[in-house]
């Protein structure tokens, strides 16, 4: 199997398994998505989804969150971990959005990455999932699968992102990054990975690529 054939096989398999790719983080708009993604750092999506309903009852828009008590924010998001830093960033981001962007989340990588606690991966998630801009957010799970499948030898997520963007058509990026996340959770975990139960790894192994 040549690399081009392998890429097509991977994409075809993911399309068959995950024709629909709902966004795993519960949100109402670009602002609530941004907050949820910030909370997801070193935390599972499932846990974030148990915390955000209470947080968004407290404040579901930038202007309200900007005025909220930071200690109250911290107590609500405590189960997500890193609550002192995350609460500080959420409040600071909300203040910036309120005063600089009329409460709206800017649809710009540059503007998003300038916000406190927002890195390239978070900005990529918001740009792709909130605004539909082609992006390929790479977390540790996608980084791991890209290496396992021989799509990238990147030592970091930045290089893996570049390699995946070269491998797959731009039109597929937004859907594909979610498909890989779903596949990794269901078939290709970091631990207790069973080759014969993994539709992609087993086929790649069988064909000796």
Q: At how many degrees (to 10) do helices 3-17 and 199-206 cross?
A: 150
pLDDT of residue 172: 97
Boundary-marking domain end, from 97, 129, 161: 129
Shared domain check, 40 and 16: no
pLDDT of residue 81: 96
CA atoms within 13 A on the CB side of 112: 26
SS3 114: coil
Boundary-marking domain end, from 129, 163, 187: 129
Boundary-marking domain end, from 101, 129, 157: 129
For the chain, give the number of residues. Answer: 209
pLDDT of residue 110: 97
Apex 84 CA angle, 80 and 88, nearest 5: 110
pLDDT of residue 191: 87
pLDDT of residue 204: 86
Its pTM stands at 0.93
Task: Kindly list the catalytic residues.
Answer: 121, 139
Q: Per residue in 13-31, is it b (16+ CB within 10 Å) or e — as a string?
A: bbeeebeebeebbbbeebb
Say whether pLDDT at 209 is over 70.
no
Mean pLDDT of the chain: 95
Say whether pLDDT at 205 is over 80.
no
- Yes or no: say if 148 and 201 are a contact pair by the CB < 8 Å rule: yes
- Yes or no: say if 135 and 149 are a contact pair by the CB < 8 Å rule: no
Binned at pLDDT 50, 70 and 90, residue 33 comes out as very high
For the stretch 132-174, pLDDT in tens is: 999 999 988 899 999 999 999 989 999 999 999 999 999 999 9
For the stretch 66-120, pLDDT in tens is: 999 999 999 999 999 999 999 999 999 999 999 999 999 999 999 999 999 999 9
Say whether pLDDT at 1 is over 70.
no
Structural domains counted in the chain: 2
Domain that holds residue 12: 3-21+136-206
- Yes or no: say if 112 and 106 are a contact pair by the CB < 8 Å rule: yes
């Amino acid at each position: 199997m040549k690399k081009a054939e392998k890429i097509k096989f991977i994409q075809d398999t993911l399309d068959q398994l995950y024709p629909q790719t709902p966004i795993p983080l519960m949100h109402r708009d670009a602002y609530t998505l941004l907050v949820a993604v910030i909370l997801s750092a070193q935390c599972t999506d499932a846990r974030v989804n148990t915390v955000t309903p209470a947080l968004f009852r407290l404040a579901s828009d930038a202007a309200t969150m900007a005025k909220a008590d930071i200690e109250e924010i911290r107590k609500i998001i405590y189960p997500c971990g890193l609550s002192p830093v995350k609460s500080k960033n959420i409040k600071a981001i909300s203040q910036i959005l309120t005063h600089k962007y009329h409460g709206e989340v800017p649809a710009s990588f540059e503007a998003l990455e300038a916000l406190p606690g927002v890195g390239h991966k978070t900005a990529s998630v918001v740009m792709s999932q909130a605004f539909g801009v082609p992006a390929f957010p790479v977390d540790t799970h996608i980084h791991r699968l890209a290496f396992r499948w021989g799509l990238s030898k990147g030592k970091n997520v930045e290089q893996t992102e570049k390699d995946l963007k070269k491998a797959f058509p731009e039109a597929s990026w937004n859907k594909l990054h979610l498909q890989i996340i779903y596949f990794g959770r269901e078939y290709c975990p970091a631990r207790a990975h069973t080759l014969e139960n993994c539709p992609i790894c087993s086929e790649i192994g069988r064909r000796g690529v």
